[in-house]
């Protein structure tokens, strides 16, 4: 029997100091998702090391999770949630930032390597497969000089400006409507 339940995890770092940073685009996407669909807000789920929300969409049970383990240990929360809800990696969708994709673009992929993303590497290590869906949201808006002189880790922890936040809203909307998250 096919399990249509989905676990959608947005990656980011917990805490006020990380709000609106490029690395937290996964958290931001889930917050947008909840607001646009008028869903119940996130609640703490300490056993899963995450904040959680859940709802039904076209008879599919959808769990939304924001790991509270910090980006580089996202696999712990992911593994706990998969085990708790008795789901397979095939039911998993991860939303995260991608420095290799230009800001304003996104890609959906499956069965790809971590490509230097420590949150994804942690998930792959904890669930022992890379065969899950990823919504990779581009964050690279750097100038040539910034690419040369600034560490990627410093850039991803930088905050979005208002113009970028407006563009992100359009990207999030496009992902929700055009990609039909209920079909992923």
Known catalytic residue at 23: yes
Q: Which residues of 149-167 are buried (b: 16+ CB within 10 A; e: fewer)?
A: eeeeeebbbbebeeebeee
This prediction has a pTM of: 0.94
Q: So where are the chain's domains?
A: 6-183
**pLDDT 10s digits, 91-125:** 999 999 999 999 999 999 999 999 889 999 999 99
Distance from C-alpha of 66 to C-alpha of 31, rounded to nearest angstrom: 10
C-alpha closest to that of 9 among 69, 58, 78: 78
Q: What is the band of 82 on the pLDDT scale with cuts at 50, 70, 90?
A: very high
Which residue(s) pair with 64 in the sheet? 8, 53
Report residue 58: phi and psi, to 5°: 50, 45
Active-site residue, selected from the candidate residues 23, 49, 96, 117: 23
Query: Which CATH class name applies to 6-183?
Result: alpha beta
């Amino acid at each position: 029997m096919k399990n249509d339940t989905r676990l959608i995890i947005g990656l980011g770092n917990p805490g006020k100091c990380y709000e609106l940073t490029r690395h937290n685009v996964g958290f931001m996407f889930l917050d947008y998702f909840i607001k646009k669909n008028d869903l119940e807000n996130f609640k703490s789920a300490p056993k899963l090391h995450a904040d959680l929300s859940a709802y039904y969409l076209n008879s599919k049970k959808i769990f939304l999770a924001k790991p509270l383990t910090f980006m580089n240990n996202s696999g712990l929360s992911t593994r706990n949630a998969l085990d708790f809800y008795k789901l397979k990696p095939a039911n998993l969708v991860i939303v995260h930032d991608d420095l290799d994709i230009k800001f304003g673009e996104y890609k959906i992929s499956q069965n790809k390597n971590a490509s230097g993303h420590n949150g994804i590497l942690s998930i792959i290590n904890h669930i022992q497969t890379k065969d899950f869906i990823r919504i990779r949201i581009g964050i690279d808006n750097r100038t040539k000089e910034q690419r040369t002189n600034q560490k990627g880790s410093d850039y991803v922890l930088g905050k979005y400006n208002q113009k970028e936040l407006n563009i992100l809203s359009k990207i999030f909307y496009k992902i929700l409507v055009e990609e039909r998250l209920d079909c992923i």
